[in-house]
Structures are given as structure tokens and as C-alpha cells.
Chain A
Amino acid sequence: MRIIYADNNATTQVAPEVYEAMIPYFTEYYFNPSSMYEPARQTGQALAEARQTIADCLGRVDPKEILFTGCATESNNTAIFGTARANPDRRHIITTQVEHPAVLEVCRELERSGYKVTYLPVDREGKLNSRDFIRALTPDTLLVSIMHANNETGVIFPIEKLSRITKQTDPEIIFHTDATQTAGKLPLDLTFGLPYVDMLSFSGHKLHAPKGIGVLYVRRGTRCRPYLLGGHQEDGRRAGTENVPYIIGIAKALELATRNREQDEAYVGRLRDRLENALCERIASVQVNGKGAPRLPNTLNISFHYIEGEGMLFQLSSYGICASSGSACTSGSLEPSHVLRAMKVPFTAVHGSVRFSLSRFNTEKDIDTIIEVFPGIVASLRKLSPYWDNERNAPRPDALDMSAHVDS
């Protein structure tokens, strides 16, 4: 059975060109780039070129501003812990309620050691309110960390504006953005487009490079302590022998994505829109989460009222279709998605959310297949749902009374 992979916000397949580019650095140029002998110098040269490529893709920044890390989670940890430790006289951080746990959990950890954290709310479309943001800035604020686009809904935050307001209010405040979902998908020009962003994180495996490699951009002059100690690598800002083949891989992947960005964006956006429109037309009681906000072209987060997401995913997987859900049963905890709850998605729909996230490797045929099988899956679960009237193909009139009743 052909796998239809529609979970590209979770991870992506490695592009063949990326894989090809990496191979020699496993087999031939496997040397430690810090070593003195001639072959190692060549490896070091390749590392420098990869760094230059990334710097060019981020708006021709200085390659010294690029740090390689193990993953976006490490980049985020470094950005938050590192700036907190380098600026001990300030104790307040601003972030949002819908960040990835790699930011939220780090903020909660700092809260436990006495830091104050403002978690900005979002509205029903997933958008931030400028007034809330301005009100949150205080003389004690050391860091603002706000994601570029949300991994669950694809909603894009106005990072350009928020970073500008931050730096114009107080240039001492550091502005960090988690761009894991946007690197390679949206323009990231740190010289002209995003001149007020101090730090930016992303990882390789969301843009068709392998897992295990991340980037942290640190604008020159930003006060930040290293997170990993124990070596001179990356100018002493991130210890640990450079993961050369993976660095070559992420550079190649970002280069490809940047070069083909507009074309991929149009293609993927067309597929997503077709899927979205077809599902909304063919299935009753659906809602697209974040529809009213600017969204990534590859992401569709859609809720089906009165059924539960895990059962949908399970049946999708029997057709070889890979997607994810914000339902409690798939989150690992028992709570449904914190992002959808922050957006006040009604609880009749939170558990029934499915996220499709596409990439340039998806085909029209993939979308046809999903459109073909999905209405049947929804119908089969609604047939079982105590809240659904199958004769009228609508929620039972008493569904809300019943669901308000908590029995345990």
C-alpha cells in the first residue's frame, strides 16, 4: 500500500538531493573538522561553506551568527535559558499560550525559579492582540519568545511587527522566534524583512533534512550564555563536535527550499485548498481552525463535531494515510490540544480535530484519495456517537445538554 504522508508538520522525508549531498561526509570526509591534518581541513571547509549557505538563505547575514545545534528544541532551550542567564538583572519573559512545549516548558521551568512569565492569549482565530502584547512589555522584560507560525494550526504571527514594537520600546529586550514551521516555507530575511529579530530557531527535519540537526541564529551583540559547555566549537557558544554530514544536509535542504519556495508554496497551497474545500463541502458540522487568520499554505487543521480524532486517524492509517489530531487520546496527556483550547474551539470539536500538513512531495492523487475515504470515516464514527442523529445527519437536539453532564 502506498503511504500518503500528510503529517509534514511533525517531520518530513529527507529529499534525495539532501541525502546524496550528505553521503560523502559519512564515508570519505568523516574527519573532525577541528583536527589539524589536511583531510580534516577539507571537512572544515565544507562546514564553513554550509554555514555560509544558511547565512545567505537567512538574508545574507554574517555566518558567525549561525549556530548549529542538535534540534530546534535545543535551539529554543539555548535561546531562553541562555539569555536568562546572561541578563540576570531582568526576570520577566513574554511568550504565548500556543507555543510549542519546547518553549512553554522552558518558561515554566524558569517560573519555578522565580521568573515571571506572561503567556499571551489568542482569539478564536488564533491571532494575538497587539494591545495585550504592548501591555505585557515591562522594564523588567528580558525576552520575548513568540513562534513564527503555529505547528498545529499553521496560523502565522506578525513577527516583523512584534519584534519592531519590542525593540522600539526597549532595545535591551531580546526578541526570539521559533521558526521551526516556517523555515523554507516563508521568507526569513533577517537583514531587511526581520531586522528586529535577535534570535531564531529551526530544525532540519521539518524541511526535508534529517532529524538531529538544528540551527540557532544569534544576532551579533545579543547577550546569551552557552547551554552546552565543554568545547571551543561554534566560537565557544555551543560545545560538541560538529555533526558535519547533517550540517551539510540542513544547508542543502534550506538552499533547495529557498530556491523553490514560491513555486512550492503555490503548489502546496493549491492542494491544501482543494482538500479543505472538498471536506467542508462533503461533511456536515465541520470547522477549519484558524481559517480567519493568515495561515501556512501547507496546513489544514479541521474539526469534525461530536466525534473523536483518534478513531479517525486509526481508520485513515488503514488506507495508508498519515495525519495527526489534537484529540486527548493522541496527545500523550489526557488533555486535548492546548492550542485549540487557547483558541476556545468548542469542546464538541476539540477532540474531533485532524491536522493534515502537506509538502511538495504530495500529489494530486494523494488529495483525491483523502477526499474519497474521509467522508466515510466520519460517517462511520458519527454512527457510533451518542451525540449524533444519523437520520438528520446533524447533532442530536439534546447533544449539548448531554455533553454538559459530567458523570465521573
Chain B
Amino acid sequence: MGWEYSDKTKQLFMDAVQGKPGTHLGEIENPDGIGEHGSIACGDAMRFTFRVKRHPSDPTQDIITEAKYLTFGCTSAIASSEALCAIIEQGNYTPLTALKIKNSDIVEYLNGLPEQKIHCSVMGAEALESAVFNWAQRRGVDLKKLGIDMHDQETEEGRIVCKCFSVTEPYLKRKIIELNLRTIPQITNAIKAGGGCSSCHHVPGGLQDILDQVWSGHAAGNTGPVQLPVLPAEPASPEFSPYQFAKKVERVIDEYIRPSLRGDGGDVEILDIKGTLIYCSLKGACSGCMGASQTLKMLVERALRDQVDERIRVIEV
């Protein structure tokens, strides 16, 4: 996959990593709003802070004057963070009007993003939203009264649909509508859900069911999960039960073989027994010995065949 980034995206990224004047890298001390989105486990994460010029009487008239970010993520995640800060500082936004900035505005500012990178712009919009909620709390603005949905139930109570990226059902449903997502790849590109193990794609209550529910109101289908077959039991060993057989092998090795190996500073370890196959490795002085396989064959195998079962074969590990 090559870099299909716009020149604007590349430019913003390079400016940011080179710390050019006018870029927004950093964290504002004692900010008026702070928001985070993503996590290092998911591959990108952003911390967004802003400062406002406070209105003397009406906090909803505060104007955002400065915005900064710290971002862990790829080229487009960092460029999206830059874009978000630039859009906000240029627009004389109040925190409330800033909520109207959507990920599509970031994409437009960047002159487009590759489809599989759309989630980087979504991260910016989400971090902004969470910073505005934080500002509201600090300034005592009741957003709910102003008719703004704070989705505070979502992460707390929602069923997790995509386990790889911890995406809940209420969040998915909201984002599907907000971002007009119609297919599973579109969901994955925008909010990453379904981009990991992909086991949530077509299971009952999975992404396809949620898409169907949101867009046509159909109830979830009900096909049972596929049962994976279980490994068969190992072949039974002859004559004795596996336990008795293993005991007998151990006893013969203890009595007849270990004493002579230990005389030479070595030892033998049994790793496993399958039927009449004994998997052994030589330890200590024996392990580096050129004659190790000969020792196993001549000494260990011979003794076990004589004493336990003539079909025994010893395999060196």
C-alpha cells in the first residue's frame, strides 16, 4: 500500500514533525477544555486541548482562541490533528459551534483522505467533542438543556459488538447514521469496528445485523454460530492404560537408564508419550554429545522394548 495522501496531508505532517511555527503540537497548560479519543492498543490516540476567551457573563459565548494536540498515530492521524486545530483557530468558533465541525470538514481541509484512513479524521472530531463536553462541565454549561446529545449512556451500558476495538452497539448505531455508513467496509474505514478479527461481521447481532436494523428496521437474523470441531483423543497405548504405560516407562528409565547416564554427567527427559512413541531429549553432558541419537536408540529404546513393550520407538527431540 503506497502513500496516497494529498500534498496538503503530507505538508501538514512534515510541518508538524519538524515543529514549524504555526503548527499545533503540544498540550495547553490549564486548558479550558480537554478531550481524548482512541487508545494505544487500537493504533491511534489523540489528546486535544483548547483555550477560550471567556465571555464575562455568558459562557456559551466563549470563543476558542487556541487549540493543541498530542497524537499517537500514522501520518494521516497527525495531519488530521493539525487540520482540526487549524480549522478551529481560523473560524472564531465558540465551543458550541465547534461541535458542528465534522470529520468531513477535516477531510475537506486535507483535500481528501484515502478511504481506509477516514477513521483518522473521525478521531479528530471525537476528541473535539469530548473536549467540548469537558469545557461545558468546567464552565457549568448544561448541554442537555441546550438540546445536545451527550451519548453518556453509550460506553457505559452498550453491548460491545467489535471486541477488537471495543465498539459498543449504541455508538455504532449513532455513527452509522451520522456518517451515513452503508456497508461493513465503510464502518471499518470510519470507526475501525470490524477491522480486526472480523468475527463480528456476520454473527447474530453483528455489524451486518446492525446495518440492516438501522437502515431497514429488519430484526436480526438468527443463524447459529458455527461449531468448530474438537481434536480427537490421542490413540490409546496397548496392553496398559496410558497412565500405567507412562508409569512403567518412567520406572524403567529411572532404574536402568538414568544411573548410567548420570555417571557421565547427563540425563534424559521424557517430553511426551503417544501410543508406543516415546519423545525424549538428552540433557546435561549428553545433550551436546555427537552420539546422542545413538545413545537414545541403543540404550533407552532397547531397555524400554525389553522391559515394557517391544513396539516402543524412541524419538529424539
Contact = CB atoms under 8 A, between A and B. Distances in A.
Interface of A: 92, 111, 114, 116, 118, 130-131, 134-135, 137-140, 161, 164-165, 168-169, 306-311, 314-315, 317-318, 327-330, 332-336, 347-348, 351, 377, 380-381, 383-387, 402-408
A308 B42 contact: no
A384 B70 contact: yes
Contacts of B117: 329
Interface stretch (B17-25, B50-58, B239-247): B17-25
Contacts of A165: 279, 315, 317
B37 interface: yes
B271 A137 contact: no
Contacts of B10: 314
B39 A404 contact: yes
A186 to B, nearest CB: 21
A330 B2 CA distance: 9
Interface stretch (B95-103, B161-169, B212-220, B252-260): B161-169
A218 to B, nearest CB: 25
A330 B1 contact: yes
Nearest to A382: B72
B39 A386 contact: no
Nearest to A136: B231
Contacts of A384: 16-17, 25, 70-72, 78
Contacts of A405: 36, 39
A111 to B, nearest CB: 8
Contacts of B229: 114, 116
B73 interface: yes
Contacts, number: 163
B192 interface: yes
A287 B68 CA distance: 30
B38 A408 contact: yes
B40 A311 contact: no
A386 B13 contact: no
Contact of B37 (A131, A135, A328, A407): A407
B72 A383 contact: no
B75 interface: yes
Given A335-B195, A387-B40, 18 more contacts: A130-B281, A139-B232, A165-B317, A168-B277, A308-B72, A327-B43, A330-B1, A334-B119, A351-B43, A377-B17, A380-B17, A380-B19, A386-B46, A386-B71, A387-B72, A404-B39, A406-B41, A408-B171
Given A386-B45, A403-B45, A333 B272 contact: no
Contact of B72 (A134, A307, A314, A318): A307
Interface in B274-310: 274, 277, 279, 281
Contact of A134 (B13, B78, B279): B279
A311 B78 contact: yes
Contacts of B317: 130, 134, 161, 165
A380 to B, nearest CB: 4
A186 B41 CA distance: 36
B159 to A, nearest CB: 15
A406 B39 contact: yes
B271 A308 contact: no
Contacts of A408: 37-38, 42, 126, 155, 165-167, 171, 191-192
Nearest to B196: A335
A408 B41 CA distance: 12
A17 to B, nearest CB: 30
